[in-house]
Amino acid sequence: MLLSALFNTSVTRSLVARSLVSRLQRTYSIGFFVKCSAVGFMMAFWFGFAPMICKAQENSEIDFGLQIRPILAEHCFHCHGPDPAHREADLRLDEEESAKTLRDGKRAIAASDPNASEILHRIASDDPDLVMPPPSARKTVTPAQRELLLKWIEQGARWGNQWSLNKPKIAPLPESAKDPWGKHPIDAWILQAMRDRGLEPAPPAPPEVLARRLSLDLVGLPPESHRVARFVEEIQQGRSVAIARYVDELLQSPSFGEHWARIWLDLARYADTKGYEKDLKRDLWPYRDWVIQALNDDMPYDRFTIEQLAGDLLDQPTTSQKIATAFHRATLSNDEGGTDDEEFRIAAVKDRVDTTLQVWMGLTAGCAKCHSHKYDPISMEDYYSFYAIWNQTEDADRYDDEPRMPVPSFEQQSQLASLQSERQRLTSQLDRAQLENQALVEQRWTLAKPTAVDSESHAALFIEEDSSVRAAADRPATDTYILEVKLPPGTYHALRIEALMAKATPEDPSPRLGLNSKDPNFVINSLEVLHGPTQARVGLKAKKVSFEQNGWPLTGAVDDDSKTGWAISPKQQQSHWGILELAQPLVVSEKVGDAEEKLVVRIVQSYGGHLMLHRVRIAFATDATVPLIVEELPAVEAIAKRSQELDKQIQSLRESIPKLPVMRELASASKRQTRLHRRGSFLDPGDALSPALPRLFDAEEAGVPDRLAAARWLVDPRNPLTPRVAVNRVWGQIFGRGIVETEEDFGSQGMLPTHPELLDWLAIEYRDTKHWSLKELLKTLVSTNTYQQAYVQDEQRKERDPRNLWMSYSPRFRLSAEVVRDQALEVAGLLSRKRGGAPVMPPQPEGLWRSTYSGAQWITSPGEDRFRRGIYTFWKRTTPYPSMEVFDATTREVCQIRRIATNTPLQALVTLNDPVYVEAAVGMAKRWMSSSDSQSDRIRTGFAQALCRPIEPDELERLMLLLSRAKEHFEASPDSAKALLSDIPFASEGEVRPSELAAWSMVTSAILNLDEMLMRP
């Protein structure tokens, strides 16, 4: 069998490797050397490293994009590139025409004629005045590069594009596709590249290793041991079926979205605060939950793109599509006092432009903010024309972060609905009760029907049908209304005066309360009731009033002081009433029309300024003992009180609903004019520019592009970069490094792909065959022999593939900050499965949050919220969660394409001493102790649970030693045991001796700190 043949060949090469064979068969892992974490190799290979170089030496045709342009870009474009401001001698080497044009009898590049090609003379010249690049550039073209240029010119100097701007194309599969190992196209390309370098693949990884690797890679959590056991069993029956089933399970798990969302949120610079000095809280988490959901739903990448960049511009956008647009509202917002909002709005828009090009196309456009790009074809005009597309949203670095969209949870929605429906029910109840009461009350009042009206000024007064009296507006500034009224016979105890809104009339179209249209207040300085033949004045006493202006009470209208009176400012917008008690009952006999019963009401309004009643009505009541107004009725009061309570509840519920900042396009009338910012400064505006897409590939152009057009352009099938960049990023997650190592840069300064044909194959597969499905792409990747290799080292690999560029063994790299933490909680049996919702605050050292001008505090979350997955941890930009920061998580202030892994003592301090990890160790110890009565069995089971492999005898021996020493310590000092367990609520549950639990916790803590635990196997 070929595989074993491969295996044997490789192992016989080294004694060390031979010793590894037995280990591999025994347990889990082989391998010798090398960890190539993503750490900073980027610089080493930009210069001219290319997988094709060796082929060139075999006289095959040289690829301009992959082999020649990078040399020109590195050495020449700075002065002979796209930036006109720095161009020398009017020569461009980024354009074929300019490069091959005859000038002063010379050509920079003369096809098929090396001797006539000035460039070859210049790069080889010894003359400091002639040599290129000039000595000041401190760059030299290497002999290998010179050789390449020479051959290329000999071959005819065929021009082309920057490699990444060429359309991805399917290349014929290499020879190695015939090999059983290389049956899958991915494996064929990988195997071919290995063989080209005299390498052979590593044997397949043991099932336990594969189980842990797949689980950590796909869901960011270790597998449960019973599942590993089943996997190992199933794999005996049939490897690929077992793997496919296991992978499907993982991809279906909701944990999948949580893991991959974390990766996306680094790009989205997602955080729970706004950044800068104040760094106030921002409710962005509904967007985080949207990303998790979209990934779990396997939303195709094109839709995923369009909804985040322009969901609001789709036809009839759904709530979910609007939530998606928060992607670009994650930009920083500066709430520091004294800032110019426009300055920071512009900074945010530029960040959106840079992030968009970076995330989707792997282009760094940032340079073009201040000058035309020196290496890539993005001029300053291109930049600001693209910027113009993003410059049209409503957000403007405002303190309130508007526009925002309330995003109630399901619970909040139903709670709000039920409160609102109760409130509605009460309102109609109240209306009904009020109407009933109104009718009831009206029965108790008898309207005094005006029979004759006049005023001191004799300006007109009109009697209305409802017994009210309306004053014409045209009258002196003060006046006294004199109303002669008639009442049915009876004994009256109380008087009511109503100030009513005047109805609009043709002469006086605006209805109002008082005559003065600017201030429709009134002042009644004196209200007098005159009765009988002598017109004796009836004494009045103010009882109740709808409203009294401060200093102008109703009593003022019935005292003897003509300066005092009743007024109602500021409530000029409603009718008013006043109720007065009569000093003596007013008896009206049946002698109708008799002067004996003449009843006159005088309303003196001497304040001035036309502050006079517009419409007034008088009524009398016979019985002053029954309630005379609505509010006094208890039923109404009860309903009103409940309504108020409900209003408060609704209000506070509304306030608790997160308000998510979203993108919203400006109305066309208020669109911004975009100008180029000279030298990148918004204070120095240049020419006005129309929105336009960069001309990086041939795309259809239809009208003025907006954000939606830009989003569609990014996922246009003609866009050569988007699928390449996307698959490369996924590859990087799975294999620890992208095929293009500089995942963030596919421009001419980025590194070249190690496997260009494979990258193209993947890009087309992802876009066209898998229809942008991430889950399908992952399924494909992890099903390959390449992925399923073991970690192996031997002299040959050490020599020929030290950085694992050729993938002749499985990579080994450190888990991300979140996975390190989640894994610890998971193997301790503590990790909460609660999904989504507001961010949580697991324990962190006190006193860390010390923003200069913010009182925000870290309040440790209770209950299971202590143990949520890392993605739910509150992310404060100026003070990120410290233990994650130590493991290379970023501040999330700007888009971060990949994290560079480090290995520091501070990480050791976290996993040794951070109370979160101590708690995990104690949780783990409890689990272990309940698994068996035998100490060694406990360790065996627990170790396998944590690391998915059986323990080795020497490992067991050392852990037993630690256990006995720790027991000695804690048994001698029971207080120490109590102290260790003191802040851990679950530690005291069940019948466990503190000293024993503490001792076991030291053993589990050691497991959590093993290198193997922290590494992806």
The answer to the question of residue 336 lying near other proteins (CB under 8 A) is yes
Question: How far apart, in whole angstroms, are the C-alpha atoms of residue 434 and residue 438?
Answer: 6
Residue number with CB closer to other proteins (202 or 433): 202
Tell me which residues in 162-191 interact with other proteins (CB under 8 A): none
Among 744, 757, 760, 818, binds other proteins (CB under 8 A): 744
Residue number with CB closer to other proteins (311 or 923): 923
Among 10, 784, 878, 935, binds other proteins (CB under 8 A): 878
Count CB atoms within 10 A of the CB of residue 604. 20
Residue 223, amino acid: P
* Minimum distance of other proteins from residue 1006's CB (angstroms): 5
The answer to the question of residue 733 lying near other proteins (CB under 8 A) is no
Q: Which stretch binds other proteins (CB under 8 A): 170-178, 380-388, 669-677, 839-847?
A: 839-847
Question: How far apart, in whole angstroms, are the C-alpha atoms of residue 154 and residue 149?
Answer: 8
Tell me which residues in 579-638 interact with other proteins (CB under 8 A): none
CA nearest neighbour of 283 among 343, 323, 339, 334: 323
The answer to the question of residue 747 lying near other proteins (CB under 8 A) is yes
Residue 479: beta bridge partners? 605
The answer to the question of residue 874 lying near other proteins (CB under 8 A) is no
Residue number with CB closer to other proteins (703 or 905): 905
Among 166, 564, 773, 1009, binds other proteins (CB under 8 A): 1009
Burial class (CB in 10 A: 0-12, 13-18, 19+), 982: exposed
Among 904, 930, 934, 988, binds other proteins (CB under 8 A): 904
Among 847, 859, 933, 991, binds other proteins (CB under 8 A): 847
Residue number with CB closer to other proteins (674 or 1005): 1005
Tell me which residues in 218-277 interact with other proteins (CB under 8 A): 275-277
* Minimum distance of other proteins from residue 917's CB (angstroms): 9
Q: Residue 705 is encoded by which pair of tokens?
A: 């592009």
Alpha helices of 273-409 — where are they, by DSSP H?
A: 285-296, 301-310, 319-324, 341-361, 380-390
The answer to the question of residue 742 lying near other proteins (CB under 8 A) is yes
Neighbouring residues of 650: CB distance < 8 A, sequence distance ≥ 6: 416, 419, 420, 423
Residue number with CB closer to other proteins (218 or 1008): 1008
Residue number with CB closer to other proteins (189 or 887): 887
What secondary structure does DSSP assign to 558-577, as a single string? Answer: TSS-TT--B--TT-TTS-EE
The answer to the question of residue 977 lying near other proteins (CB under 8 A) is yes
Q: Which stretch binds other proteins (CB under 8 A): 105-113, 284-292, 532-540, 897-905?
A: 897-905
Question: How far apart, in whole angstroms, are the C-alpha atoms of residue 761 and residue 170?
Answer: 6
- For residue 198, CA distances in Å to 16, 85, 193, 203, 752 come to 20, 48, 9, 16, 21
Give the number of residues in contact with other proteins, rule: CB under 8 A: 124
Q: Which residue has the tokens 């698959």?
A: 727
Residue number with CB closer to other proteins (279 or 289): 279
The two most distant CA atoms of the chain are separated, in Å, by 137
The answer to the question of residue 851 lying near other proteins (CB under 8 A) is yes
Residue number with CB closer to other proteins (441 or 759): 759
Among 152, 390, 566, 791, binds other proteins (CB under 8 A): 791
Question: How far apart, in whole angstroms, are the C-alpha atoms of residue 570 and residue 520?
Answer: 9
The answer to the question of residue 201 lying near other proteins (CB under 8 A) is no
Residue number with CB closer to other proteins (334 or 393): 334
Residue number with CB closer to other proteins (434 or 903): 903
Phi, psi of 131 (to 5 degrees): -60, 140
The answer to the question of residue 823 lying near other proteins (CB under 8 A) is no
How many helices, marked H, and strands, marked E, lie in the chain?
A: 34, 20
Tell me which residues in 683-712 interact with other proteins (CB under 8 A): 683
User: Residue 595: which H helix or E strand, with range?
Assistant: none
The answer to the question of residue 886 lying near other proteins (CB under 8 A) is yes
Tell me which residues in 852-871 interact with other proteins (CB under 8 A): 852-853
Question: How far apart, in whole angstroms, are the C-alpha atoms of residue 312 and residue 319?
Answer: 9
The answer to the question of residue 331 lying near other proteins (CB under 8 A) is no
* Minimum distance of other proteins from residue 51's CB (angstroms): 14
Euclidean distance between the first and the last CA atom of the chain, given in angstroms as a whole number? 26
Residue number with CB closer to other proteins (275 or 300): 275
Residue 22, amino acid: S
Q: Residue 700 is encoded by which pair of tokens?
A: 């259809």
Among 283, 401, 597, 745, binds other proteins (CB under 8 A): 745
Q: What is the DSSP letter of 657?
A: S
Among 6, 13, 21, 47, binds other proteins (CB under 8 A): 47
Burial class (CB in 10 A: 0-12, 13-18, 19+), 628: buried
Question: How far apart, in whole angstroms, are the C-alpha atoms of residue 998 and residue 979?
Answer: 9
Question: How far apart, in whole angstroms, are the C-alpha atoms of residue 330 and residue 352?
Answer: 9
Per-residue x/- mask for other proteins, residues 907 to 946, rule CB under 8 A?
Answer: xxxx-xxxx--x----------------------------
Tell me which residues in 376-395 interact with other proteins (CB under 8 A): 376
* Minimum distance of other proteins from residue 846's CB (angstroms): 8
Residue number with CB closer to other proteins (903 or 936): 903
Q: Which stretch binds other proteins (CB under 8 A): 457-465, 730-738, 768-776, 850-858?
A: 850-858
* Minimum distance of other proteins from residue 650's CB (angstroms): 37
Residue number with CB closer to other proteins (505 or 973): 973
What secondary structure does DSSP assign to 18-79, as a single string? Answer: HHHHHHHHHSS----S----STT-TTTTSSS--TTHHHHHTTPPP-IIIIIHHHHHHHTHHH
Question: How far apart, in whole angstroms, are the C-alpha atoms of residue 1007 and residue 920?
Answer: 11
Tell me which residues in 121-160 interact with other proteins (CB under 8 A): 138, 140, 142-144
Count CB atoms within 10 A of the CB of residue 154. 15
Tell me which residues in 5-34 interact with other proteins (CB under 8 A): 16, 20, 23, 29-34
Taken in order 34, 35, 38, 43, the sign of the CA dihedral is negative
